[in-house]
Amino acid sequence: MRRQKNRLPIGVFDSGVGGISVLVEIIKLLPHEEFIYYADSINAPYGIKPENTIRSLTIKAADFLFKLGVKSLVVACNTATSAAIKEIRRIFELPVIGMEPAIKPAVELKKNSRIIVMVTPLTLQSKKFNSLVYQYKHLAEIISIPCPGLVELIERGNNNIADYLYSILRPETNKNISTVVLGCTHYVLIKREILKVLGRNINIIDGNCGTARHLKTVLEKEGLLNNTLEDKLQIPLRANVRFYTSGTGIEVLKYKQLLQVEGITCES
Ligand code: DGL
C-alpha cells in the first residue's frame, strides 16, 4: 500500500555535519515527522570548490534524496543554496527549502550597528549573498569574513579551532561589533568557541530556527504536515531519522551524539 504523501520523510542535506544543527531545530518544531539526513562527506568541504562543482554535487544529492521518496527537501547548507537552489527548484517537483545568512534578523536586532557575517569563500563570492548584503548595507555596517579551512576543522573535530578563530576574529574585537551572523551551518556547532573569542556581550545569530519555521509554513500550506501521530510526542524527543553519507558512514555516530546532546535520541 502506498504511504500517504504527508507521512513521507523530509530530506535534509548538507556537505557534512553542519546540517545536523538545522535538523535539531526542525525536529524540535516538527517532532512528528520522519527524516532522512544525507551528508556528502566525501566531497566536504563545498565552500572552497568552484560553483559549478558545488552545483552538480548538490543536484546529485537532491536526486539521491528525491529517489528515496522524500516529500520535501531542506538544503541545510548556505554554500549549496548559494550555488544551486534555483536549479534544484527547477529540476525537482517538491517543496525545496534553502538557507541564507541571517543578515535581516541581525539588522532588525540592532539598527546602525556593526555586524560580522562568517561565511565560506564560495558563499562570499556568490551573487545571492552579495545581493543580500546590498539590500541591508544602508542599515548596518556589514563585515563579511570568509573562513577557508574552518569547515574541515569542524568536520575533523580538530583542537586547533580556537587558534583559527583567534586569528580571524581577533582583529575585529575592538571594532564595537554588536552581532555575528553564522552564515554556514557548520559554524553553529562552534558557537561557544566563537563567543569565547569575541566576548559574551556579542549576539550570535544563525538561520536555523527561521529555516525550521519556514519549512513548517510551507508544509502546512501544501497539506504535507504529518499530523497523524499526535500521541507519539515524548520528552526527551525520539526522532525518526535515517542517515546516509557518501563517506564511510562512521560519521553517523557523531551525528547521533550531537542530536543526543540536544535531548534527541534516534529510533533507528
Ligand atoms: N554547512 C555548509 C554551509 O552552510 C558548509 C559548506 C562546506 O562544506 O564548505 O555553508
CATH at 255: 3.40.50.1860
| Residues 75, 85 contacting (CB under 8 angstroms) | yes
pLDDT tier for residue 268 given thresholds of 50, 70 and 90: low
67 and 152 in a single domain? The answer is no
pLDDT at residue number 166: 95
Phi then psi for residue 181, to 5 deg, are: -100, 125
117 phi and psi, to 5 degrees?
-120, 115
The predicted pLDDT at position 232 comes to: 55
- Kindly tell me if the per-residue pLDDT of 264 is higher than 60: yes
In the listed set 206, 221, 255, which residue is the last one of a domain according to the structure?
206
What pLDDT band is residue 85 in, cutting at 50, 70 and 90? very high
The pLDDT, as a whole number, for residue 170 is 87
Tell me if residue 266 is catalytic: no
Pair 261, 236: CB distance under 8 Å: no
Distance CA 211, CA 75 (A): 10
Ligand 1 atom nearest residue 44's Cα: 8
119 Cα nearest atom in ligand 1: 10
- How far, in Å, CA of 224 to CA of 78, rounded? 24
Are 221 and 201 members of one domain? no
Please check whether residues 15 and 95 belong to one and the same domain: yes
Tell me, what's the pLDDT at 235?
62
Cis, peptide link before residue 31, omega less than 30° from 0: no
| Cβ 198 vs Cβ 180: under 8 Å | yes
Give yes or no: residues 160 and 30 share one domain. Answer: no
Burial class, 28, CB count within 10 angstroms (exposed 0-12 / middle 13-18 / buried 19+): middle
Question: What is the whole-number distance in angstroms between the Cα of residue 184 and the centre of ligand 1?
Answer: 5
Residue 7 scores a pLDDT above 80: yes
Residues 140, 49 share a domain: no
- Confidence band for 201, pLDDT divided at 50, 70 and 90: confident
Quote the pLDDT of residue 158.
80
Q: Which is the closest atom of ligand 1 to the Cα of 77?
A: 4
- Mark whether 220 and 192 lie in a shared domain: no
- Does residue 76 register a pLDDT over 90? yes
Domain containing 94 equals 5-99+209-266
| Distance from residue 158's CA to the centre of ligand 1 (Å) | 17
Task: Decide if pLDDT at 256 tops 90.
Answer: yes
Do 93 and 214 share a structural domain?
yes
- The answer, yes or no, to whether any atom of ligand 1 lies below 6 A from the CB of 45, is yes
Last residue of one domain, picked from the residues 206, 227, 247 = 206
Per-residue pLDDT of 232-249, as tens digits, reads: 556 667 889 999 999 999
- Residue that is last in its domain, among 206, 232, 258: 206
- The C-alpha atoms of residue 52 and residue 57 are separated, in whole angstroms, by 9
Ligand 1: which of 48, 74, 120, 245 to mutate, most ligand atoms within 8 Å of CB? 120
18 lines ligand 1 (CB under 6 A): yes
C-alpha cell at 6: 504527508
Distance 56 CA to ligand 1 centre (A): 15
Residue 231 pLDDT > 60: no
Q: Ligand 1 in contact with 22 (CB < 6 A)?
A: no
Which uninterrupted H or E stretch holds 149? none
Report the pLDDT value the prediction gives residue 82, as an integer from 0 to 100: 97
Strands, sheet with 34-39, edge to edge from the N-terminal-most edge strand: 96-97, 72-75, 10-14, 34-39, 237-245, 264-266
**Helix (H) / strand (E) containing 215:** helix 208-221
The answer on 217 and 187 residing in a single domain is no
Per annotation, catalytic residue among 77, 147, 209, 266: 77
Same domain, 161 and 201: yes
Query: Per the structure, how many domains does the chain have?
Result: 2
Does residue 46 line the site of ligand 1, with CB under 6 A?
yes
Q: What integer pLDDT is reported at residue 233 of this predicted model?
A: 57
Nearest alpha-carbon partner for 199 in 163, 158, 169, 157: 169
CB 147 within 8 A of CB 122: no
Q: Are 193 and 246 part of one and the same domain?
A: no
Alpha-carbon distances, residue 50 vs 40, 54, 74, 88, 252 (angstroms): 16, 6, 22, 17, 27
Residues 159 and 78 grouped into a single domain: no
Cα separation, 17 vs 19, in Å, equals 6
Atom nearest to 18 CA in ligand 1: 1
Looking at the structure, do residues 93 and 184 belong to the same domain, yes or no?
no
Residue 225 has pLDDT above 80, yes or no: yes
Tens digits of residue pLDDT in 125-167: 999 999 999 999 999 999 999 999 999 999 998 888 999 999 9
pLDDT at 179: 96
pLDDT of residue 19: 98
Q: Is 77 a catalytic residue?
A: yes
Question: Residue 199: pLDDT band by 50, 70, 90 thresholds?
Answer: confident
pLDDT score, position 183: 98
Residue 66's pLDDT is: 98
Other Cβ atoms within 10 Å of 116 Cβ, number: 25
Average pLDDT of every residue of the chain:
93
Would you put residue 69 in left (φ > 0), alpha (ψ -120 to 50) or beta? left
